[in-house]
Every structure is written in structure tokens, then in C-alpha cells.
Structure 1
Amino acid sequence: MFAKTLKTTLLTLLLTTAAYADDITLLATMGSKAIFQVNGQKKTLQIGQMVGGAKIISIAADSAVIENNNGRQRRLGLGEGYVAETQKQSDGDGSLVLSPNPSGHYLADITIAGQTQRGIIDTGATHLSMSSKTAETLKIDYRSGKPALTQTANGVIKAWLVKVPQLKLGTVTLYNIDLGVRESNDAGPILIGMSTLNRFQMKRDQDLMILSKKAY
């Protein structure tokens, strides 16, 4: 039932965005081989083989790393799904289909200036936000932004509000996104808040989160 619903959802997205994608889910690993479900069909594959529109880079006891046609790598845990595009999307459109991780959170890649970090979808956060340590890794000149204060579990700390000229959420390019940077050395995930999410139409299909970029 889940696979049928997912295939119906993906077909709708393909017709809407004129993109082509493969639905890939890691089901099990067996040494140097792994069992994937690709567009509803089970396949046993090994390192170096193609799984849908992606290539298998490595296989571990509870995960596998795949690489899409854009050279981007993605680690899949057991039971985790991924939509691998077989054609590049233009900046003007795009959709993401996200599956929850074992903790029930939705994760997506954030790419800024060619550097990619994992982020967690947080509809309760006003801005895309990260620690100053992460911002430095991404070479963001956050100290030139607007000074602010933010409330954390450890009290009120210094922060900055800056605007990122261009970034990618997954494969979708976005422009002029407000970013909050808190003064902290923690290496926790980036919080993908509403300054990013409001660029998308959001909907749920069972446990899937579907983000479709709005047309402006």
C-alpha cells in the first residue's frame, strides 16, 4: 500500500515539474551487497552498480552511500527512502519528497557556496539557522550581519541575522534566504525554518513530506 501511494505521488510530481526521478529505498544489507526497492521493485546490487539514477559508493552493516548524477552523495539508513533525479532541474521549479528518519525527523541537504551540510526540517523555527561553527565551515560572513539575541536552553546568547544570496535545499535552488547564526561551537544539524520552507508548498502523504517550490 505504501509503495503504491508513493508511486502515485511521484507520478504527480513528475507531471507537474517535468522532472524524472527514481524512488530508492534501502531494505537490507548483506556484506558487500544490498537489497534496494527501486520504483517498487526489489533489486540486489553491489558497490559500483547503478541503483535507479544513482551509483552505489559503499555498503555498511546498516546503511549504504549512493551518488546521484550531479555527483552528490547521500547516506541511506535501513528503511530510508530517497528520490534520485535522473535529470537536472532548472532553478525555476523543483520538488522534494522526504521520508522520516527512525526518530521521525525529516532531513535534507543544505548547500551553500559549494559546501553541503545536513539540515532538519523545523516548522517551528522562524529562520534557517545554524551555529557560528557551522557558518564558519560554510564560509558565511555572519559577523557582517545584523546583531541580535536568541533564547536557547542555556540562556540568551549572541546571534546575527544575515541574508544568503543563493543556496540549495536538496536539488532546489533558492535565492535571498534569511539566516540566523547563533554564537556557538556546537556541530548540531542546521535547522531548516520557515524563511526557507515558505518558498515551498508543503503537504503530507501518509508519512512522506512533499515540498514543491512556489512559482514567483
Structure 2
Amino acid sequence: MAPWGARRVALAVALAFGGGVMPLTALAQSVAMTGGMGSKALLVVNGGAPKALAAGDTYQGVKVLSVSADQAAVEVAGKRQTVHLGEAPVSIGGSGGGANGTQIVLSAVSGGHFVTQGQVNGKSTSFMVDTGATSVAMGADEARRMGIKFEDGAKFYGSTANGTVVGYRVSLTSVRIQDVEVFNVEAAVLPMPMPHILLGNSFLTRFQMKRDNDTLTLTKRY
């Protein structure tokens, strides 16, 4: 099987020709893990300087529950989540109300990719920004996990290093990242496994994009 990178590029081509601090909900905190110091995790809260925190410590409303070499379990406003070393910041806590934000701020991970957690139709998943993909794209297994009935969508054919594949075009009810949510997003469902949902231009064109070194800011247009 061809390497994932080669298959991703081929599929992006096939899809193309196949027809400050970010606003957060009340009490929400942006948390990232940038390193470790023995029993302590180096956490960045709301874009500030890294802070060494051990299990039981609380800093700016973020309580550390446990620490290991490559992850830390934290709690904000009664909501628990695990943050992983080197991954993009996650938004934790908040009122749990509507996603009324207008700006997404992402940090590059290893390899320079922008990877983040989010939701499709209310189901949690992971995304990777791909400006070369015409639309959001996901593997069939992930689509099934989220209850997307892609077999009812329009078929299309794409070329990969392994030959021609059959995909399906669908419309996602919603895509949410941090406290920003957009609706009726075109997506492609592909037969092979994919480590992340590709965040293509059917989502990205709704934002103004600005990159500053390892930070990508998406500001909602509409």
C-alpha cells in the first residue's frame, strides 16, 4: 500500500478535479502540554508561559488530575480531558451552550501539520488542515462511527497509487472546532482508513486564514 502522504496528495487532486486570545465560552480554558519535568507537566494555559504543574495543582482554573510522560489529565469547571504532549491546544470547560465563536487558533504539531480535536454532527473526532483538498474528507469507517449514511450520497471516482476508488459526497449537518461551528459542510467519504478527517476547503473557505510561524488563525467570514 502506498504511504499515507502519497495517497492523501492523490486523493486531494482527485477531489479537486472530481467535481490576541481566541474567544472562548464562559469559564472555558485553552490547555496544551509542551513538556514534562519528572512528576510535573509543562502546561500552557490560554496561550501564556509554560507552567510546571503536578497532580493536585490548580492554575488559572485548570486542575491537574494526573501526569505521565506524554500526557496529563486535567479538569476545568467539572469537565475532564486528557491533553497530549505536542498536540494542539484543547478547549476545556465552558457553559456547554451554543458555539458562537468566530475565531479558531491552531498550533502546528510535529511535521508542521495543524491537527486539532472537534466534532462532526455532534460526534468527537480529530481533524488535520489540508488546503489542497477541495472538501472535507474522511474514511468510511470514521463516517460509519459517526452515523453518517454516506451510501445514500452521490458516487464519485478518484485515482490513487493503488488504482481507482469509489467515494461518496455528503453534506455534514455541522462541523465544530473549539467554540466555532459551521453548518451544511460538503464532505467526501473515501474507502480507505484515514488517521484524521481532512479539513478541506468546503470548511476553510468560510474563514479568513492567517499563518504566523507555527500558529494558524481562522476568522469566520459567515
**Shared fold per TM-score greater than 0.5:** yes
1:148 to 136, 153, 156: 156
Code of the residue aligned with 1:190 in structure 2: it is I
Give yes or no for contact 1:130–1:189 (8 Å, CA) kept in 2.
yes
Q: In percent, how many aligned pairs have the same letter? A: 30
3-state DSSP of counterpart to 2:142: helix
Give yes or no for contact 2:170–2:186 (8 Å, CA) kept in 1.
yes
Tell me which of the two structures has the higher relative contact order, counting C-alpha pairs closer than 8 angstroms and 6 or more residues apart. Answer: 2
2:204 to 182, 197, 209: 197
Q: Give 1:56's aligned residue.
A: 64
Code of the residue aligned with 2:215 in structure 1: it is L
- Aligned positions of 1:1-216 closer than 5 A: 9-10=20-21, 13-14=22-23, 22=29, 24-38=31-45, 39-66=47-74, 69=77, 71=79, 73-78=81-86, 80=87, 82=89, 84=91, 87=94, 90-184=98-192, 186-215=193-222
TM superposition shift of 1:209: 0.1
Code of the residue aligned with 1:167 in structure 2: it is V
3-state DSSP of counterpart to 1:103: helix
Distance in 2, matches of 1:54 and 1:127, equals: 36
TM-score by length of 2: 0.75
Code of the residue aligned with 1:34 in structure 2: it is A
Distance in 1, matches of 2:102 and 2:78, equals: 15
Q: Deviations over 1:131-188 (max 9, x none)?
A: 111111111000011111122232210000010112312331111000100122x142
Give yes or no for contact 2:35–2:42 (8 Å, CA) kept in 1.
yes
TM superposition shift of 1:18: 8.9
Give yes or no for contact 2:159–2:165 (8 Å, CA) kept in 1.
yes
TM-score by length of 1: 0.77
Distance in 2, matches of 1:68 and 1:133, equals: 32
Distance in 1, matches of 2:221 and 2:61, equals: 25
Q: Give 2:13's aligned residue.
A: none
Distance in 2, matches of 1:53 and 1:157, equals: 49
Q: Give 2:14's aligned residue.
A: none
Aligned residues: 201
> What is the RMSD computed on CA atoms of the aligned residues?
2.9
Distance verdict in 2 for CA 1:34–1:164, change over 3 Å: same
Give yes or no for contact 2:100–2:179 (8 Å, CA) kept in 1.
no
3-state DSSP of counterpart to 1:124: coil
Q: Unmatched 5+ residue regions in structure 2? A: 1-19
Distance in 1, matches of 2:215 and 2:186, equals: 26
Give yes or no for contact 1:53–1:86 (8 Å, CA) kept in 2.
no
Q: Unmatched 5+ residue regions in structure 1? A: 1-8
Q: Deviations over 1:169-211 (max 9, x none)?
A: 2331111000100122x14211110011112111112220001
Moved more, 166-175 or 128-137: 166-175
Code of the residue aligned with 2:209 in structure 1: it is M
Give yes or no for contact 2:33–2:85 (8 Å, CA) kept in 1.
yes
